[in-house]
Structure 1
Amino acid sequence: MKKIHVVSKAVAVTGLLLGFTASDAVAQASVQVYGLVGAYVGSAKRSGDASSVLQEGGGGLTTSYLGFKGNEDLGSGYKAVFALESFFRPDTGEQGRSATDPFFARNAWVGIEGGFGRVTLGRQTNPTYTNMATLSPFGSSVVFSPLVLQSFVATYGSAIVGDTVWNNVIEYTSPNLGGFKGAAVYGSGEVPGQPGIANMGLHGSYTQGPFTAALSAQRVRVNTPSSAVSQQDAYLGGVTYDFKLLKIYTSLEKTSSSSGIASKTYDAGLSIPITKNGSLLAEVARTKVNAPKNIETARTTASIGYDHFLSKRTDVYAIYVFDKKSNAGSAGTVGVGMRHTF
């Protein structure tokens, strides 16, 4: 009985605190709680793997996260803004995409917004990854999008050096100018005596009716224990067009590094509405990597699936991923999942 009383009291106090928080947020009209919960089950096998793995994973089409964002009117058309977003794994209840993630791994920034645009400081999502999400019918998925898999996921080759989120970033985002939005980012390496060791990027997107174009250019410099610097330059460009009967996606990605390794990724996809609430999704990406001593490798990854919305915020899906790299046999991954936004 004592345990029941303690639990009941804890629940009541938590509810009261949440009530005050919600009431204050509504009164101030300045703070929002939001996020996404997703999970999938399936059998995963990449080209070169010895065997498949039956698994339940957190995320799927979108990595699960919890976020808080808000703003305060400073007058004269200016606002203070902030965002704090944390990844989590609903399959295990653990925080982060992995054990190495910081608590607010998805975003943790504060800034000022006005007619000039927005300037923010802190840990922020890499705009190359944001643009990539608009150029793939599978969005930002690190499980099912061939473009994202071959660009950022190590087990698929990871053509682009660095994470989808950057630390110590100063970012300027322009206002919407006739459909165009631009961004410039600078992430300090914070290395004493070496101010040039930093990440930089220039990004832009343009949307006019059914047409969208996106372009990203970034430079990543990685410090080693010997204080040597390895640099990679990466470029991404692509377009989408919605014909209503179907939407097409196409993009090209190129990288080059100080180590002599270069890559090209060609990607194409489409989404076709099958029902009022469901669409067929398909995409294929092929990456060719050239290394010193005339070593060349290639990888092809293709996905096909169906995504069905049960409501505005909840959808279910089934997806198959084919994978083949030049020095190994082909393999396949299949998954069914669900996600809910709030």
Structure 2
Amino acid sequence: MDFRHFSKCICSATLVVSAGAAMADTNVTLYGVVDVFGQYLNNGGTHSFSERSGGSTGSLFGFKGNEDLGGGLKANFVLENGFNVNNGTAFADTTAMFYRQAWVGLSHDDYGSVSFGRQYQPSFRVIYPTDPFRANEILSPLAAAVLAIDRNTLATQYAAGRTSNSIVYQSPNLRGVQFGAMYGFAATVTQPLPSTTGNMLDLGLSYSGYGFYAGLAYQNQHAGVETFPGLPARLNLLATEHFIGALAYRLGIVNFQFNYSYNRPKDAPAGSVAALLGAGHSHSIAELGATIQATPADVVEIAAFERNVRGAHDNTPGIQIGYDHNLSKRTSLYARAGYMKNNGSATMSWPGVAVTEPDASQTLVVVGMTHRF
């Protein structure tokens, strides 16, 4: 008998039994999304075709669970990984096992919840309901505007949506009103670029009722540093404030949506890399759109957007439309078509797409499939 094989079988059986016991005690759920799409891109006159992942919903798998501690108190956790289904690699950061979420906390029906780990920012939860493309990290024009890389805003920090080393309080729903507060401690990563971010405060307040939604958010990021390709020294990331407003109103089958954010960095220290490059400009992002529930199985999305860099005359207007058709509760097909035009030295693009040159346009058309489990 091969004792190595036998020992592996015993270990596997033990893990299965242990997992079963854990599930019985804590109600653990395994869930996930597999999303793939084909893409056509006209990037400043350069045409390309490719296969990518996560165009409607990021491909992911995760574990979540809770334990009832009695008296309305529960223990909760979420561990959520991101990956690229087209090639099997980890999404965004290959060094992170659970890039999307990793947190544990306590919640109470009457007092809200407090959680610790890598989590969504309250400001993200405020703006999320007002983006027709659900703040998707690959094809949402809002995500494209937030993550845009251009010289004039290179040192202006962006609201990434998630924060590591964080503590979050989320209030209960009080007649439609919810409040969230986060404090994140400094964090260092090596991907997608080596960087260290400072401490961060994030606050969000929202109301939802009678078909109406409104939200306000504020984020204050302390200074940090980043190693950026092509620069002779590390770039100093400026302390940055973010002011966010979000509105939505549902009228019949149409949900009208609007969001606006203003991102204001502190002045760059004299002689710093950010000051020498002039890379610390303020900028705003505006998006107006609608989500239309055409039939129980068909949804149409449309958004017009603009990213505007202050003091540099750089801006990027654009438009995007989408269509989703549900084949079942778990499987759907989707299509997206978008256009954006960079003016001045702006170099905004959809995430994962490098701009060929400033002052050029981009056209994107995709068809994809999403399956949830």
TM class by shorter chain equals: 0.7 to 0.9
List runs of 5+ in structure 2 lacking aligned partners.
189-196, 227-233, 268-279, 345-358
Matched, 1:300 2:331: no
Superposed, 1:70-85 pairs within 5 Å as 70-85=65-80
Alpha-carbon distance, 1:138 to partner = 0.8
Three-state SS of the structure 2 residue aligned to 1:105 is coil
Query: What letter matches 1:144 in structure 2?
Result: L
d(CA) in 1 for partners of 2:249, 2:167: 32
Alpha-carbon distance, 1:197 to partner = 4.4
RMSD of aligned Cα (Å): 3.1
Three-state SS of the structure 1 residue aligned to 2:252 is coil
Q: Which residue of 1 aligns with 2:273?
A: none
d(CA) in 2 for partners of 1:285, 1:17: 54
Superposed, 1:28-47 pairs within 5 Å as 28-46=25-43
**Do 2:156 and 2:281's aligned partners in 1 also have CA atoms closer than 8 Å?**
no
CA deviation profile, 1:168-203 (whole Å, cap 9, x unmatched): 101111111111111100011279xxxx94111101
Identity over the aligned pairs, expressed in percent? 28
Three-state SS of the structure 2 residue aligned to 1:94 is coil
Q: Which residue of 1 aligns with 2:183?
A: 186
Alpha-carbon distance, 1:224 to partner = 2.7
Three-state SS of the structure 1 residue aligned to 2:239 is strand
Q: Which residue of 1 aligns with 2:298?
A: 278
d(CA) in 2 for partners of 1:18, 1:313: 29
CA deviation profile, 1:67-97 (whole Å, cap 9, x unmatched): 1111222333322211111111111111233
d(CA) in 2 for partners of 1:154, 1:299: 12
Q: Which residue of 1 aligns with 2:332?
A: 315
Matched, 1:251 2:239: no
Superposed, 1:1-342 pairs within 5 Å as 20=17, 23-24=20-21, 27-46=24-43, 49=44, 51-99=46-94, 101-114=95-108, 115-154=110-149, 161-189=158-186, 197-224=198-225, 230-259=238-267, 261-291=281-311, 295-327=312-344, 328-342=359-373
d(CA) in 2 for partners of 1:320, 1:151: 19
**Do 1:152 and 1:158's aligned partners in 2 also have CA atoms closer than 8 Å?**
no
Q: Normalising by structure 1, report the TM-score.
A: 0.85
d(CA) in 2 for partners of 1:201, 1:280: 32
d(CA) in 2 for partners of 1:210, 1:38: 30
Query: What letter matches 1:236 in structure 2?
Result: I
Alpha-carbon distance, 1:269 to partner = 0.4
CA deviation profile, 1:294-320 (whole Å, cap 9, x unmatched): x22111121112111111222111110
Query: What letter matches 1:64 in structure 2?
Result: S
Query: Aligned pair count?
Result: 327
CA deviation profile, 1:96-154 (whole Å, cap 9, x unmatched): 3343x511111111111113111111111223233332111111212322222101344
List runs of 5+ in structure 1 lacking aligned partners.
none
d(CA) in 1 for partners of 2:335, 2:156: 27
Alpha-carbon distance, 1:244 to partner = 2.0
Three-state SS of the structure 2 residue aligned to 1:27 is helix
**Do 1:222 and 1:229's aligned partners in 2 also have CA atoms closer than 8 Å?**
yes
d(CA) in 2 for partners of 1:158, 1:211: 36
**Do 2:156 and 2:240's aligned partners in 1 also have CA atoms closer than 8 Å?**
no
d(CA) in 1 for partners of 2:327, 2:7: 35
CA deviation profile, 1:30-78 (whole Å, cap 9, x unmatched): 21111211111111345xx462331111111111111111122233332
Three-state SS of the structure 1 residue aligned to 2:96 is coil
Query: What letter matches 1:112 in structure 2?
Result: L
Q: When you count strand as a share of all residues, which structure comes out higher? A: 1
d(CA) in 1 for partners of 2:370, 2:236: 43
Q: Normalising by structure 2, report the TM-score.
A: 0.78
d(CA) in 2 for partners of 1:256, 1:26: 46
